[in-house]
Amino acid sequence: MEKVGFAGLGLMGGPMVMHLIRAGLDVAVYNRTPARAGQHLRAGAELCSTAAELAGKCGLILLCVSDTPAVEEVVFGPSGLIEGAAEGSLIVDHSTISPSATREIAEKLRQRGVGFVDAPISGGTSGAEQGTLMVMAGGEAGHVERLRPVARHYSSNLIHIGPAGQGQLMKCCNQLVAGLHVLALAEGFRFAGEAGLKPADAHRVLGGGAAGSFIWDKWGAMLLEGDLSPGFKIKLHRKDLLLVRQECERVGLGLPGLKLLLELYEKAIDRGLGELGDQALSKVL
């Protein structure tokens, strides 16, 4: 199998790379903060000093960074991937970014003979650590199939949604629904507490019926323990919801739930909760 490069060793990317290394793949990594690569180097990965160097050594390059500007910087910035990527190489973006920007990136790379797949992921840090992420892929079918044998090491499912940008559109849909589940968790716990119910009982009972969900089960359990550490950060979810709003504006769609979510996430960030997990939205209520 070809050498695999990975740029971005954060809460999601770091564990994903470890799955690739443990699977015996030949892996090179790049991160703006090289110190984060310590465990990966000890496990056998090669460290590159620039994104261009990474692309020069790998035919398949994966990246997972924070937002649209970060992706554009890694791909097209000084010493970016495009400077080292050979014709026929494939860049796969596991970040969550603007669908319209994604289509532009894909076209620019196509003109340089480089393939591109937008492949945002869902499942939080626990999914990254357990290797059970959902991958929503947009791009040419051949490019998606080239990714599939690699992605199976950190994901439980990869679905080809359609052409470039469609993966990011599906992730927008995912983040909208996930945000509404977070609100349901926060309000459910608030109602239980104020009505005289034990939140632990509510968590157990509702989780066993129609109200149950990954967020209710996983983050509800953390909320019961007072654990507000991020499976997904509030500030990043707000960033994703803004992408959803942009797409709604593009197609002329009004969603009252989205409007409410953005108001609550803004309040959470104003109160200094942005670095905490989504379950900390309960603090706003």
Task: Supply φ then ψ for residue 162, to 5 degrees.
Answer: 160, -155
Q: Checking phi first, is residue 65 left (phi over 0); if not, alpha (psi -120 to 50) or beta?
A: beta
The CA-CA-CA angle for residues 95, 181, 240, to 5°, reads 25
Q: How far apart are CA 147 and CA 126, in angstroms?
A: 22
CA atoms of 98 and 244, how far apart (whole Å):
9
- Same domain? 242 vs 138: no
Question: Residue 260: which domain range?
Answer: 169-283
User: How confident is the model over 15-41, as a mean pLDDT?
Assistant: 97
Q: How many domains, in total, are found in the chain?
A: 2
Q: Are 25 and 145 contained in the same domain? A: yes
Mean pLDDT within 171-200: 97
Task: State pLDDT tens for residues 231-282.
Answer: 899 999 999 999 999 999 999 999 999 999 999 999 999 999 999 999 999 9
- Residue 1's pLDDT is 77
| Separation CA 100–CA 264 (nearest Å) | 26
Residues 6+ apart with CB under 8 A from 45: 17, 21, 27, 28, 29, 37
Q: Find the CATH number of the domain harbouring 181.
A: 1.10.1040.10
- Give residue 200's pLDDT: 96
Catalytic residues: 171
Q: What is the mean pLDDT of residues 168-193?
A: 97
90 contacts 146 by C-beta, under 8 angstroms: yes
Same domain, 189 and 154: no
Q: Are residues 200 and 144 in the same domain?
A: no
With contact defined as beta carbons under 8 Å apart, do 129 and 106 qualify? no
- Pick the last residue of a domain from 143, 163, 183: 163
Residues 183 and 249 in one domain: yes
Distance CA 271, CA 156 (A): 36
Asked which of 137, 163, 189 is the last residue of a domain, the reply is: 163
Q: Does 135 share its domain with 28?
A: yes
pLDDT in tens, 192-201: 999 999 999 9
Q: pLDDT tens digit string along 100-154?
A: 999 999 999 999 999 999 999 999 999 999 999 999 999 999 999 999 999 999 9
Q: List pLDDT tens digits, range 117-126.
A: 999 999 999 9
184 and 155 belong to one structural domain: no
CATH no. for residue 146? 3.40.50.720
What is the overall mean pLDDT for the chain? 97
Could you tell me if 74 and 184 lie in one domain? no
Least confident of 18-22, 93-97, 102-106, 124-128: 124-128
